[in-house]
């Protein structure tokens, strides 16, 4: 049976008003991002912060990898949900935004639980694999053209039942608009089909924020 629900701005606001609350530094990051203008759309949505929080809180997740830190909203949301001996390794190649993020992490008292690495993510992923690191949970939110590479590399960094979550998979709804044939939209569509036909995972796309895919490694 189909549903008539379209998650517009008002529904997203209703979700936020009837869900858990943000911590004061998460709010500060959001205000800071707003001051940056259009680039603020890079950050995950508030409802996505809460989903990451709940997934981590209700599991035995201790070690998280993030691909795409930006100014730190998703990183901090995950770190705050982790136990005291948890760790987030956060990858981004942008020194400037990373500096901003690290300041927020310190302000939130989370600097001991977050390690940032500033390099092209594919290089960092190779280093992590070479040093045989393993994670319980990987959040992919960087350059969308590389989603397939990040996804394949991530599968080597988690064990069975580990989670990989990918952001922006609905691409403002453009994935279903056949008139949209630009490179990025086509790449996201292809990526979604790739993940869904991959026998190494089972996946679900959920319409929170710009669309998240949740994959469990089989």
Ligand X SMILES: C[S@@+](CC[C@H](N)C(=O)[O-])C[C@H]1O[C@@H](n2cnc3c(N)ncnc32)[C@H](O)[C@@H]1O
- How many helices, marked H, and strands, marked E, lie in the chain? 8, 7
For β-strands 212-217 and 135-140, DSSP reports them as unpaired
Among 88, 121, 140, 212, binds ligand X (CB under 6 A): 121
- Piece of 14-22, 85-93, 126-134, 149-157 that binds ligand X (CB under 6 A): 85-93
- Piece of 5-13, 136-144, 182-190, 210-218 that binds ligand X (CB under 6 A): 136-144
Q: How far is the CB of 196 from ligand X (least distance, A)?
A: 22
Among 26, 93, 147, 192, binds ligand X (CB under 6 A): 93
- Contact of 143 with 94, CB cutoff 8 Å: no
- Contact of 71 with 32, CB cutoff 8 Å: yes
Among 30, 42, 87, 214, binds ligand X (CB under 6 A): 42
Q: How far is the CB of 72 from ligand X (least distance, A)?
A: 6
Cα–Cα distance measured from residue 168 to residue 213, given in angstroms and rounded to the nearest whole number: 8
- Piece of 10-18, 63-71, 171-179, 184-192 that binds ligand X (CB under 6 A): 63-71
For β-strands 63-67 and 135-140, DSSP reports them as parallel
Among 50, 68, 135, 164, binds ligand X (CB under 6 A): 68
* Alpha helices for the chain (secondary structure H): 9-17, 24-35, 46-57, 73-81, 95-107, 121-130, 147-155, 183-196
Q: Does 120 bind ligand X (CB under 6 A)?
A: yes
Give the binding-site size for ligand X (rule: CB under 6 A): 19
Q: How far is the CB of 134 from ligand X (least distance, A)?
A: 21
Cα–Cα distance measured from residue 59 to residue 199, given in angstroms and rounded to the nearest whole number: 24
Q: Which residues bind ligand X (CB under 6 A)?
A: 42-44, 68-71, 73-74, 91-94, 97, 120-121, 141-143
């Amino acid at each position: 049976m189909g549903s008539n629900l379209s998650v517009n701005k008002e529904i997203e606001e209703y979700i936020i008003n009837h869900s858990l609350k943000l911590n004061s530094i998460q709010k500060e990051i959001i205000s800071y991002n707003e001051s940056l203008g259009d680039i603020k759309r890079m950050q995950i949505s508030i409802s996505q912060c809460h989903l990451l929080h709940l997934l981590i809180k209700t599991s035995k997740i201790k070690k998280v990898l993030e691909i795409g830190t930006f100014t730190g909203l998703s990183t901090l949301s995950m770190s705050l949900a982790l136990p005291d001996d948890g760790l987030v390794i956060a990858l981004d190649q942008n020194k400037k935004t990373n500096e901003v993020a690290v300041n927020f992490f310190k302000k939130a008292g989370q600097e001991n639980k977050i390690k940032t690495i500033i390099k092209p993510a594919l290089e960092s992923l190779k280093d992590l694999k070479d040093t045989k690191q393993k994670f319980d949970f990987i959040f992919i939110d960087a350059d969308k053209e590389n989603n397939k590479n990040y996804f394949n590399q991530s599968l080597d960094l988690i064990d069975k039942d580990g989670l990989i979550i990918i952001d922006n998979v609905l691409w403002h709804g453009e994935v279903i608009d056949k008139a949209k044939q630009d490179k990025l939209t086509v790449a996201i569509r292809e990526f979604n089909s790739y993940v869904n036909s991959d026998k190494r995972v089972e996946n679900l796309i959920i319409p929170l924020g710009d669309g998240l895919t949740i994959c469990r490694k089989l």
